Structure 1
Amino acid sequence: MSLRSFRPTIIIPTKDRAQILAQLLGSIEQLEAIERILPEIIVADNDSRDNTYEHVKATARCFPTTIRALKVRRAGKSAAVNDAVHSAKGNVLAFLDDDVVVDKTWLTSIEEFFQNGKYQVGQGIVRLQSPAKEDPEIQKLVQRYRTIPKLEHDPKLKEVHSLNGSNFFVSRDVFDRVGGFDERLGPGASGTSEDVEFAHRLGRSGICIGYAPKAVVYHHVDRGRLTDEYFKQSHWRQGRSRLLIRNRSAAAILFNLVHAFAQYALYTLLCKERNRYRSKGRIYHYLGMIEAKQNNAGHPEDR
């Protein structure tokens, strides 16, 4: 079902990243048709200790459309996003992470996606930001660790089965029907997977996620994420988060952990680096689950 009118609210959760947020707002200011579409922009400031709130207020004074800075004291990205949605006026909610910049056609591509009328949820493309994406060493590390969001499929693909919170959009009707983000999950809480859990609920409600290859953002390349230590912590957080989404028995976790160790040993012998790191990530994932089990962080029942 297509929307009669396209009235988007762009929601940007952030915490203590005023400088990088300024790059995103600068790219939004240059969007094609921004003065025609006039999107509402809500920056959900999750109790930043830097000058994020003041910077957004100052930027709003000379911006081509409405920007609102919303202070959210409750911890976590999911809490910040939920509060922003509660105050949003648009009939389309477009979610952006604060460490991306948007392509100049991003907004009109989302408009076209919803006017097409086939889907009410869309996942856009996430590419790496220049000049880092042209650096061969960066490309090698991104491929090894997979700790910086990068998402692009065959443009002929029609649907995807999960979401990446860096760049997706949903009609307000569908969001209200499915419900907000699980505030136990995501950065500032369990660490990750709030977007994955939201996608699971969409699927259980029979709502398909359309692939929107024209809606492109470019993700900042933080070299701090391209290390063994960050890789370990990222998968550890993912394990804790996935246990919150669906509880598993200790026996099942241990079985999968042993299997991951066996795969890691095999791929090490075969000198297959990508497969070795994938197995290594699974080891950390299941170790994170075990830690969560020990801390009584899992659900008492499967969801």
Structure 2
Amino acid sequence: MQAVSVVIPTHLRSHLLRESIASVAAQTLQPIELLVVDDANDPATQAVVAEADARLPFAVRYIANEAGGVCHSRNKGAEAATGRWIGFLDDDDLWHPPFLERLVGLAEQQRVELALGGLLHHEDEHTVTPRAQLTGLTPDTALRQNGSMTGSNFVIDRDAYFRVGGFDPAVTVFNDWDFFVRLLDAGVTYGVDPEPLAEWRFHPGDRIATPSLRRAAGIGFFLDRHGKRMSRVVWRDLETTMLGIRRIHTKSRFEKLKLSVQLIRAHGPLRYAKRILRR
């Protein structure tokens, strides 16, 4: 198997980062290097990286990301990577020990440029759902159902990564889904191991999925970019999520009423009535 580099983007989560690094250290296929990219210049993060570098058999490097944001961090890590394959792991997620071996082996056996593993999605403190990406998706079908590619369940050929320019920092929500669609548009081939090989973890505190106005704006951007290729069901789910977040945050009665009308139109009157009755 050819060499693999691992990139962990991180932001003020040194306690979780330590656990993520431990899951990299436990891999049955050891990487040649681990690149931790920090966009917060956090001393606690630097200490965790220094500790890991001192005890692990592969190099663990700290990289500062002054531009900020997870997409910039992933791109900066990929630029510094020296392996043919790059695996990305968010600082709050975990890999099972065979993750790298299974996915790099799959990619090399099937001669594809991208390999995705199944994952266990911790939706909350009590609900865990297994998920796996569908096989055989095309640019025309990849947006007809919610994707199962995250920032933590794939390995990719370095050349393929840069063929599409990496992650787009302009996409603040669903940047992994956007990346997957752009890879398919560029003709990048992929394979899937449906076995759960990663843990997409739930934790308290601020996350990308937090229902903030920033998230609503990000969903709006994603709809503007990809909405024409989405199924009606996917479009409706994203639009109603965006409108619902905006409705929660507005203090204007007029704006709240206007958003309620838009939600009724997006859901359809019958579906909206059923949704209200279930609350």
State TM-score, norm by structure 2.
Answer: 0.73
Q: 1:100 touches 1:217 (CA, 8 Å); kept in 2?
A: yes
Q: How far does residue 76 in structure 1 lie from its aligned partner after superposition? A: 0.8
Q: How far does residue 49 in structure 1 lie from its aligned partner after superposition? A: 3.5
2 CA distance for matches of 1:225 and 1:73? 20
Q: Determine whether 1:177 maps to 2:159.
A: no
User: Which one-letter code corresponds to 1:236 in the other structure?
Assistant: A
Structure 2 CA distance for partners of 1:196 and 1:151, relative to 1, 3 Å: farther
1 CA distance for matches of 2:103 and 2:72? 25
Specify which of 175, 197, 200 is matched with residue 178 of structure 2.
Answer: 197
3-state secondary structure, aligned to 1:19: helix
3-state secondary structure, aligned to 2:66: coil
User: Which one-letter code corresponds to 1:114 in the other structure?
Assistant: A
User: Which one-letter code corresponds to 1:53 in the other structure?
Assistant: Q
Residue 283 of structure 1 corresponds to none
Q: Determine whether 1:14 maps to 2:10.
A: yes
Moved more, 9-18 or 236-245: 236-245
Q: How far does residue 122 in structure 1 lie from its aligned partner after superposition? A: 1.8
How many pairs align? Answer: 239
Specify which of 92, 96, 110 is matched with residue 99 of structure 1.
Answer: 92
Structure 2 CA distance for partners of 1:103 and 1:15, relative to 1, 3 Å: same
What are the equivalent positions in structure 2 for 1:286-301 lying under 5 Å apart?
Answer: none
Q: 1:18 touches 1:50 (CA, 8 Å); kept in 2?
A: no
Q: 2:10 touches 2:37 (CA, 8 Å); kept in 1?
A: yes
1 CA distance for matches of 2:262 and 2:85? 40
Q: How far does residue 50 in structure 1 lie from its aligned partner after superposition? A: 4.9
The C-alpha deviation readout for 1:75-97, integer Å capped at 9, x for no partner, is 21111111111111011111111
Q: 1:109 touches 1:214 (CA, 8 Å); kept in 2?
A: no
2 CA distance for matches of 1:263 and 1:9? 51
Q: How far does residue 47 in structure 1 lie from its aligned partner after superposition? A: 2.2
Structure 2 CA distance for partners of 1:267 and 1:71, relative to 1, 3 Å: same
Q: 2:121 touches 2:130 (CA, 8 Å); kept in 1?
A: no
Structure 2 CA distance for partners of 1:265 and 1:214, relative to 1, 3 Å: closer
1 CA distance for matches of 2:121 and 2:196? 14
3-state secondary structure, aligned to 1:230: coil
Q: How far does residue 66 in structure 1 lie from its aligned partner after superposition? A: 1.4
Specify which of 138, 151, 158 is matched with residue 135 of structure 2.
Answer: 158
2 CA distance for matches of 1:205 and 1:198? 11
Q: 1:126 touches 1:216 (CA, 8 Å); kept in 2?
A: yes
Residue 115 of structure 2 corresponds to 122
Residue 77 of structure 2 corresponds to 84
Q: How far does residue 11 in structure 1 lie from its aligned partner after superposition? A: 0.9
Q: 2:130 touches 2:196 (CA, 8 Å); kept in 1?
A: no
User: Which one-letter code corresponds to 2:152 in the other structure?
Assistant: S
Q: Determine whether 1:265 maps to 2:272.
A: yes
Consecutive unaligned residues in structure 1, runs of 5 or more: 143-149, 187-191, 274-303
2 CA distance for matches of 1:232 and 1:267? 25
Q: 2:104 touches 2:155 (CA, 8 Å); kept in 1?
A: no
Residue 27 of structure 1 corresponds to 23
Q: 2:85 touches 2:104 (CA, 8 Å); kept in 1?
A: no
Consecutive unaligned residues in structure 2, runs of 5 or more: 229-235, 240-258
3-state secondary structure, aligned to 2:188: coil
Residue 300 of structure 1 corresponds to none
Q: 2:8 touches 2:91 (CA, 8 Å); kept in 1?
A: yes
Residue 40 of structure 1 corresponds to 33
Q: How far does residue 17 in structure 1 lie from its aligned partner after superposition? A: 0.4
State TM-score, norm by structure 1.
Answer: 0.68
After superposition, the CA RMSD in angstroms is: 3.3
3-state secondary structure, aligned to 1:206: coil
3-state secondary structure, aligned to 1:74: coil
User: Which one-letter code corresponds to 1:57 in the other structure?
Assistant: A
The C-alpha deviation readout for 1:224-252, integer Å capped at 9, x for no partner, is 579xx93466862542341463588xxx9
2 CA distance for matches of 1:32 and 1:211? 19
Q: 1:53 touches 1:71 (CA, 8 Å); kept in 2?
A: no
Q: Determine whether 1:210 maps to 2:213.
A: no
